[in-house]
């Protein structure tokens, strides 16, 4: 295939942006000014924290959703609907449970109107190639997670896509399974046994991205923007214990933390701030690790992630929460325990709650706001919907719900307010005391 | 006897009480049921798909479905039969269609609801996979939407058929404007047996019905349920899946191979022909785009709906008002109150009886497995076949019909309560039972803290179904005859029945409207609240 498109880009993104309507007047920008070119022959990985819009970007590229601004060009023409040259592998596999392996793999061919005999032949070749032979008549529920995702790959590859998109394709699998599947795919790619000319993957696992990609694009969040690009020149197979690999890992981490310095997160930016989805036990776990004698209050991010088995999606929200609450500070790929953080982690259970409560009311405007409203009201109660409405001026509906859930969790732990799920309202009543009163009566 | 045989209104169709005719009658009754089921299925696919694809359509279609569900079918049978006779003048096709339509209206709504909610629950990623791989709308419908809905649809079809037997029996002998049309079938056979006070014939009819229900269960629903297992949206293999001997036979048979090949061919051809059907996924799936300004139609839609609803109420009111005085309208409301009282008392009584029994059975897995098909069977059996037995007893012992006719209303629908409770009790996680035993909970505490909360959501579902069914059954249960003796209980059911015999359309409309109103209000104010409460408090997540 020596036509002239060979020398051009396979895929081009020009200034792509995506905005969702939150309310009638407010819009939320998820993606902004994304410009990117994919050349034939390369694997590109997009990494970023949750909320950076990488999955949305993936869906724009494969024509499932429209960009609000800018354009996506595939082989020089505008992508407005799903293209037969672009295949997607889903994080959740997205297999049809009532179709067996063969029927699932044939699906895309059937949609293209390929004849029964032809699609049977091609599907069997794909099944063979991906290592599923023998399982043709099995149903997805009879397969392990790894085998299911192989079906996902076979289904995506059987239509001979130019461009293969992988949306966190390995993240639902356990570590050894994802390793095997990744290596098998890499072999197919390196030995050119598949006609695919480029792969774009979204990942929240930095090592995974470094094991596969030729280029890593680091995305910033709120709104999603391209923050940095890290080229990877190591030869395959890559050794994750090699010095060069460790250096590359640190390089990506520092690109990601550089992002966090650009958007100030010392203090939450107001009540509409997107609070990170982090539990108190997780925070304590990290602080505990920092407070270990051998750590001495400061640890490299890559080491911390490795030790606590944290992926980017968990790690960065955690760091943000600790930063917001002034318990730890992240700078240049190191995280450092603050004096408050040390006090917090070394306190006993009751004292911890007090420390946490003080920091919460001081440093998280939404918590302070809820507490103030409750203090002002005679009965010290306020419905959840009141705060939800306020948050929806800044956040999408789902996001507002999520943020409110986070603040409920934190507030309950700190006992700065309580929340009654059945009545759907916040209050200052101490639920423990009330029950005792009730029992006395 | 062909369907399109000539027929003039008023002409009597020969029905014989000879048991040897019963096989033929049973077949015709079953065919009516099958035709209605087919119609329900087509209706379900069209109506639910439309509602799921357009938010604006759903705004009208879903509340409308809710209303249709509460309308007493037997009440307006006599109105529809006139319409159908006019549609096919001089042919038996008219009354046949009217009977089938009556069964259809007893079956379609819950199936439509089930399909609609399935369509809205299909996982987003499957829809996206269908889109990425460019399935046409036709392919998506049959490869994704229908398969996903199959388990729910089959379950609801089973419930529909179970309820349908009741109406098929009632709809075969239709009284229209003073004369009675008796279509050949088990229902007409029963009606004639009642007229002639022939208890033996009634015994034969009950026996025939038992066989028919047994056959539909074994030859149709059992194989369908087993086959539907593969469509269950779960990724773990279930334990103790149901079995069907008939499906096993079918799967081995040559005929099945041929059918598979034929359907594959039909599928290929239809996908090719219908490739360019306009594609539009279900509503929930479309992404929200930032849109500046609201379109004119969006702004006009709600007021438009209000005006349309208001107009139809006024038209109905004027139709009724031309004939009926305010005092009578008030009287009809009062009659409904009586029937409502009966329904509530009966539901309470049935609950007191069946809740403990259901829990007892449900907690014993071996027993529960065997009991469930029996209960489905009992629910399917048309209770109106047993009415004559009850009437003879009431006459024999000089009982008060106002009280003793009431249980007939719930005879057929009480099983929904029992059935749901057995299911919920059987699904109680064993670790919770072990904890209860470990903590040494007393019997009272065990019921209050574990068993009752566990079954509550299922109880509400069962109670809702039973109460709706009881309202509907009141039309045939409040007036029951045996030969020339007729027993009547005061209520909206007997009012509608009397107006139907008289062919008084404005009064039928009034009765039906008032009963529907009661059912809707009761559902909204009691059952729906209980349901939401149950879902919030007691459902394991």
Taking CA atoms, B328 is separated from A373, B15, B454, B492, in Å, by: 56, 39, 46, 12
pLDDT of residue B427: 83
**C-alpha span between A81 and A66 (Å, rounded):** 8
Domain that holds residue B532: 321-541
Please list every residue in chain B whose beta carbon sits closer than 8 Å to the beta carbon of residue A98: 147, 150, 230-231
Whichever domain contains B443, its CATH number is 1.10.3720.10
**Are B375 and B266 part of one and the same domain?**
no
Letter string b/e over residues B352-386, b meaning 16 or more CB atoms within 10 A of that residue's CB:
eebbeebbebbeeeeebeebbeebbebbbbbbbbe
Domains of chain B: total: 2
**Are B393 and B257 part of one and the same domain?**
no
**A261 confidence band (pLDDT: 50, 70, 90):** very low
**Are B490 and B362 part of one and the same domain?**
yes
**C-alpha span between A27 and B331 (Å, rounded):** 57
pLDDT of residue A372: 92
Q: At A54, phi and psi to the nearest 5?
A: -65, -40
Cross-strand pairs, A418:
A427
Where are the alpha helices (H) located in A278-430, listed in sequence order? 280-290, 301-308, 312-324, 339-346, 349-363, 365-376, 384-391, 397-414
Asked if A381 and A326 touch (Cβ cutoff 8 Å), the reply is no
Of residues B161 and A436, more confidence is placed in B161
Rounded to the nearest angstrom, the minimum Cα separation between B65 and chain A is 29
The mean-pLDDT minimum among A173-182, B57-66, B393-402 falls in B57-66
pLDDT of residue B290: 34
pLDDT of residue B295: 62
**B194 confidence band (pLDDT: 50, 70, 90):** confident
Model-level pTM greater than 0.90? no
Q: Please write the tens of the pLDDT for every residue from B239-276.
A: 556 677 887 777 777 777 788 788 888 888 887 777 77
Q: Please write the tens of the pLDDT for every residue from A400-416.
A: 899 999 999 999 999 99
**Are B269 and B337 part of one and the same domain?**
no
**Are B58 and B164 part of one and the same domain?**
yes
Verify whether the Cβ–Cβ distance A113 to B537 is below 8 Å. Answer: no
Q: Which region, left, alpha or beta, applies to residue B135 given φ > 0 means left and ψ of -120 to 50 means alpha?
A: beta
**A37 confidence band (pLDDT: 50, 70, 90):** very high
Residue carrying structure tokens 């995702």: A149
**Are B433 and B526 part of one and the same domain?**
yes
B280 located within any domain: no
B493 located within any domain: yes
Q: Please write the tens of the pLDDT for every residue from A368-402.
A: 999 999 999 988 899 999 999 888 887 778 888 99
Q: Which two tokens stand for residue B397?
A: 């012992």
* pLDDT at A212 > cutoff 80: yes
Letter string b/e over residues B42-79, b meaning 16 or more CB atoms within 10 A of that residue's CB:
ebbbebbbebbbeeeebebbbeebeeebbbbbbbbbbb
Window 121-160 of A: residues touching B by CB (8 A cutoff) are: 139-142, 155, 159
B283 located within any domain: no
**C-alpha span between B316 and B306 (Å, rounded):** 16
Nearest to A100 by CA among A63, A132, A71: A132
**C-alpha span between A159 and A114 (Å, rounded):** 10
pLDDT of residue B441: 84
Q: Please write the tens of the pLDDT for every residue from B335-376.
A: 999 999 999 999 999 999 999 999 999 888 888 878 877 887
B43 located within any domain: yes
Q: Share the mean pLDDT of chain B.
A: 83
B135 in contact with A, Cβ within 8 Å: yes
* pLDDT at A199 > cutoff 90: yes
Q: Please write the tens of the pLDDT for every residue from B475-485.
A: 888 988 888 88
Rounded to the nearest angstrom, the minimum Cα separation between B160 and chain A is 25
B303 located within any domain: no
Residues of chain B with pLDDT > 90, as a percent, come to 19
A64 in contact with B, Cβ within 8 Å: yes
B534 in contact with A, Cβ within 8 Å: no
**Are B253 and B331 part of one and the same domain?**
no
| Mean pLDDT score, B147-165 | 87
pLDDT of residue B10: 59
**Are B395 and B461 part of one and the same domain?**
yes
* pLDDT at B177 > cutoff 90: no
B132: nearest CB among A20, A24, A82: A82
Of residues B535 and A213, more confidence is placed in A213
Verify whether the Cβ–Cβ distance A422 to B290 is below 8 Å. Answer: no
pLDDT of residue A266: 42
Which residue in A has a C-alpha nearest to residue B136's C-alpha?
Answer: A111
pLDDT of residue B372: 75
Residues of chain B with pLDDT > 70, as a percent, come to 91
**Are B194 and B266 part of one and the same domain?**
yes
| Mean pLDDT score, B35-60 | 90
Window 365-424 of A: residues touching B by CB (8 A cutoff) are: 422
Which residue in B has a C-alpha nearest to residue A93's C-alpha?
Answer: B125
B281 located within any domain: no
Helices A301-308 and A312-324 sit at what angle, rounded to 10 degrees? 120
List, in sequence order, every beta strand (DSSP E) within B6-110.
none
A112 in contact with B, Cβ within 8 Å: yes
Q: Report ipTM for this prediction.
A: 0.78
pLDDT of residue A26: 67
pLDDT of residue A441: 56
**Are B253 and B348 part of one and the same domain?**
no
* pLDDT at A20 > cutoff 90: no
Residues of chain A with pLDDT > 90, as a percent, come to 56
pLDDT of residue A167: 92
Q: Share the mean pLDDT of chain A.
A: 87
Three-state helix/strand/coil letters over B386-414? CHHHHHHHHHHCCCCHHHHCHHHHHHCCH
**Are B411 and B504 part of one and the same domain?**
yes
**B292 confidence band (pLDDT: 50, 70, 90):** very low
A82: nearest CB among B125, B134, B144: B134
* Interface-testing mutation among B118, B127, B134, with chain A (most A C-beta atoms within 10 A): B134
Collapsed DSSP state (helix, strand, coil) of residue A298: strand
Q: Which two tokens stand for residue A376?
A: 């002002």
Greatest Cα-to-Cα distance within chain A, rounded to the nearest angstrom: 88
**A359 confidence band (pLDDT: 50, 70, 90):** very high
Q: Which two tokens stand for residue A429?
A: 């009543």
Helix (H) or strand (E) holding B530, with range, is: helix B528-538
| Mean pLDDT score, B503-513 | 87
Which residue in B has a C-alpha nearest to residue A90's C-alpha?
Answer: B125
Verify whether the Cβ–Cβ distance B289 to A88 is below 8 Å. Answer: no
B438 in contact with A, Cβ within 8 Å: no
**B36 confidence band (pLDDT: 50, 70, 90):** very high
Cross-strand pairs, B179:
B176
A21: nearest CB among B230, B272, B291: B291
DSSP assignments along A147-190, one per residue = HHHHHHHHHHHTT--SEEEEESTTTTS-HHHHHHHHHHHHHHHH
* pLDDT at A222 > cutoff 90: no
Cβ count near B295 (within 10 Å) = 9
**Are B331 and B461 part of one and the same domain?**
yes
Of residues B283 and B490, more confidence is placed in B490
């Amino acid at each position: 295939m020596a036509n002239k498109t060979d020398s051009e880009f396979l895929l081009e993104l020009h200034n792509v942006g995506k905005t969702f309507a939150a309310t009638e007047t407010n819009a939320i920008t998820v993606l902004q000014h994304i410009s990117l070119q994919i050349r034939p022959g390369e694997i590109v990985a997009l990494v970023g924290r949750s909320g950076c819009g990488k999955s949305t970007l993936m869906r724009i590229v494969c024509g499932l959703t429209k960009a609000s601004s800018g354009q996506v060009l595939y082989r020089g023409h505008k992508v407005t609907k799903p293209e037969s040259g672009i295949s997607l592998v889903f994080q959740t596999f997205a297999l049809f449970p009532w179709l067996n392996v063969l029927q699932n793999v044939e699906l895309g061919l059937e949609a293209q109107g390929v004849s029964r005999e032809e699609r049977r032949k091609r599907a069997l070749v794909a099944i063979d190639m991906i290592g599923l032979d023998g399982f043709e008549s099995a149903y997805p529920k009879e397969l392990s997670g790894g085998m299911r995702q192989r079906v996902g790959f076979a289904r995506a590859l059987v239509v001979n896509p130019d461009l293969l998109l992988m949306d966190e394709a390995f993240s639902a699998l356990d570590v050894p399974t994802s390793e095997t599947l990744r290596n098998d795919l890499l072999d197919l790619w390196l030995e050119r046994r598949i006609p695919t000319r480029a792969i774009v993957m979204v990942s929240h696992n930095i090592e995974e991205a470094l094991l596969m990609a030729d280029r890593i694009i680091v995305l910033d969040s709120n709104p999603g923007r391209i923050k940095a690009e890290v080229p990877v020149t190591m030869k395959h197979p890559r050794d994750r214990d090699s010095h060069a690999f460790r250096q590359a890992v640190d390089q990506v981490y520092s690109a990601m933390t550089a992002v966090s310095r650009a958007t100030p997160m010392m203090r939450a930016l107001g009540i509409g701030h997107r609070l990170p989805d982090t539990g108190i036990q997780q925070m304590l776990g990290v602080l505990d690790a920092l407070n270990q004698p051998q750590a001495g209050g400061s640890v490299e991010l890559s080491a911390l992630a490795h030790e606590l088995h944290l992926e980017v999606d968990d790690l960065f929200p955690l760091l943000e929460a600790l930063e917001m609450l002034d318990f730890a500070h992240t700078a240049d790929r190191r995280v450092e325990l603050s004096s408050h953080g040390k006090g917090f982690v070394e306190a006993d259970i009751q004292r911890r709650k007090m420390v946490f409560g003080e920091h919460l009311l001081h440093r998280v405007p939404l918590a302070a706001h809820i507490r103030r409203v409750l203090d002002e009201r005679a009965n010290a109660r306020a419905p959840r919907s009141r705060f939800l409405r306020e948050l929806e001026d800044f956040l999408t509906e789902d996001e507002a719900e999520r943020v409110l859930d986070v603040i409920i969790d934190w507030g309950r732990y700190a006992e700065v307010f309580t929340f009654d799920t059945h009545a759907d309202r916040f209050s200052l009543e101490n639920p423990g005391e009330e029950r005792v009163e009730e029992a006395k009566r | 006897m062909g369907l399109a045989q000539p027929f003039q209104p008023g002409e009597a169709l020969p029905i014989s009480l000879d048991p040897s005719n019963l096989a033929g009658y049973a077949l015709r009754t079953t065919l009516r049921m099958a035709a209605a089921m087919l119609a329900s299925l087509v209706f379900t696919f069209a109506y639910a798909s439309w509602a799921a694809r357009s938010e604006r359509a759903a705004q009208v279609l879903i509340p409308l479905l809710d209303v249709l569900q509460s309308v007493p079918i037997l009440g307006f049978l006599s109105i529809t039969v006139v319409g159908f006779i006019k549609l096919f003048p001089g042919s038996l096709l008219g009354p046949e269609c009217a009977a089938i339509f009556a069964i259809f209206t007893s079956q379609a709504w819950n199936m439509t609801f089930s399909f609609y909610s399935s369509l809205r629950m299909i996982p987003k990623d499957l829809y996206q996979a269908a889109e990425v791989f460019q399935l046409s709308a036709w392919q998506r419908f049959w490869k994704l939407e229908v398969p996903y809905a199959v388990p729910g649809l089959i379950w609801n079809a089973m419930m529909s058929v179970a309820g349908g037997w009741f109406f098929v029996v009632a709809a075969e002998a239709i009284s229209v404007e003073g004369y009675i049309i008796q279509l050949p079938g088990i229902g007409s056979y029963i009606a004639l047996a009642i007229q002639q006070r022939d208890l033996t014939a009634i015994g034969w009819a009950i026996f025939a019905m038992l066989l028919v229900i047994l056959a539909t269960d074994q030859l149709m629903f059992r194989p369908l349920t087993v086959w539907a297992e593969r469509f269950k949206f779960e990724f773990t293999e279930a334990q103790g899946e149901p079995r069907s001997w008939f499906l096993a036979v079918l799967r081995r048979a040559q005929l099945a191979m041929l059918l598979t090949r034929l359907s594959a061919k039909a599928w290929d051809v239809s996908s090719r022909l219908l490739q360019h059907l306009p594609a539009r996924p279900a509503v929930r799936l479309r992404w929200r785009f930032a849109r500046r300004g609201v379109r004119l139609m969006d702004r006009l839609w709600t007021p438009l709906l209000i005006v349309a609803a208001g107009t139809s109420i006024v038209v109905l009111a004027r139709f009724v008002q031309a004939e009926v005085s305010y005092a009578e309208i008030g009287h009809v409301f009062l009659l409904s109150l009586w029937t409502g009282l009966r329904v509530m008392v009966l539901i309470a009584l049935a609950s007191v009886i069946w809740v403990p029994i259901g829990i007892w059975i449900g907690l014993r897995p071996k027993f529960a497995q065997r009991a469930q098909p029996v209960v489905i069977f009992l629910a399917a059996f048309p209770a109106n076949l047993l009415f004559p037995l009850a009437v003879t007893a009431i006459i024999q012992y000089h009982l008060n019909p106002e009280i003793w006719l009431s249980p007939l209303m719930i005879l057929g629908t009480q099983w929904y309560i029992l059935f749901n409770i057995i299911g919920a009790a059987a699904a109680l996680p064993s670790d919770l039972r072990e904890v209860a035993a470990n903590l040494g909970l007393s019997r009272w505490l065990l019921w209050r803290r574990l068993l009752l909360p566990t079954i509550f959501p299922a109880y509400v579902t069962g109670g809702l179904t039973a109460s709706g069914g009881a309202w509907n059954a009141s039309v045939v249960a409040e007036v029951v005859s045996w030969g020339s003796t007729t027993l009547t209980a005061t209520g909206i059911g007997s009012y509608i029945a009397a107006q139907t015999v008289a062919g008084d359309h404005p009064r039928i409309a009034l009765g039906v409207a008032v009963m529907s109103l009661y059912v809707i209000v009761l559902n909204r104010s009691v059952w729906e609240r209980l349901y939401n409460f149950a879902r919030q408090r007691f459902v394991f997540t």
